[in-house]
């Protein structure tokens, strides 16, 4: 999944070049290789993960999505985890924990983080969505686009 996390980070960097927050997500097929969808952050309420999950739900059946993986640069917020839940995407992989992002942004009004881990959101439901992350081996590279973004 490391290569997919790096691909998400490229999407996040592209989002920054377009004037958006540095978040990226991809949907990986059941074969764990093919990338079905990609999405960068759009706005404060149109996050990469939730936009991707909505598109996926429109394009694929719930049974197919159950065998897919949503890969994200950072741990999805409660809204995004909930959208993944309702879209029926069976696995989540994220590179960096939300707590690390909060360390960078502090009380920045552009990212008023919720202290609610995605695992808590997903474990509150009736589906057994698998969650993998964080991955320390990619933390530095995933955090890199955030360092300049949140300090401007």
> Which of 10, 49, 75, 141 is the catalytic position?
49
CB-based contacts of 96-103 (< 8 A; 24+ apart in sequence)? 96/133, 96/134, 96/135, 96/138, 96/139, 96/142, 96/143, 97/133, 97/134, 98/74, 100/74, 100/134, 100/139, 100/143, 101/74, 101/75, 101/146
For residue 81, count other CB atoms closer than 10 A to its CB. 29
- Our answer to whether residue 75 is catalytic in this structure is no
**Catalytic positions, written as ranges:** 49
């Amino acid at each position: 999944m490391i290569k997919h996390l790096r691909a998400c980070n490229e999407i996040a960097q592209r989002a920054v070049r377009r004037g958006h927050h540095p978040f990226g997500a991809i949907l990986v097929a059941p074969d764990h290789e093919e990338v079905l969808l990609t999405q960068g952050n759009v706005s404060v309420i149109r996050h990469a993960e939730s936009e991707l999950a909505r598109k996926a739900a429109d394009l694929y059946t719930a049974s197919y999505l159950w065998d897919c993986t949503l890969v994200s640069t950072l741990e999805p917020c409660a809204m995004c985890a909930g959208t993944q839940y309702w879209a029926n995407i069976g696995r989540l992989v994220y590179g960096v924990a939300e707590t690390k992002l909060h360390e960078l942004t502090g009380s920045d009004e552009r990212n008023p983080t919720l202290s609610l881990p995605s695992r808590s959101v997903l474990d509150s439901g009736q589906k057994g969505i698998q969650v993998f992350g964080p991955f320390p081996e990619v933390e530095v590279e995933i955090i890199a686009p955030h360092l300049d973004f949140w300090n401007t």
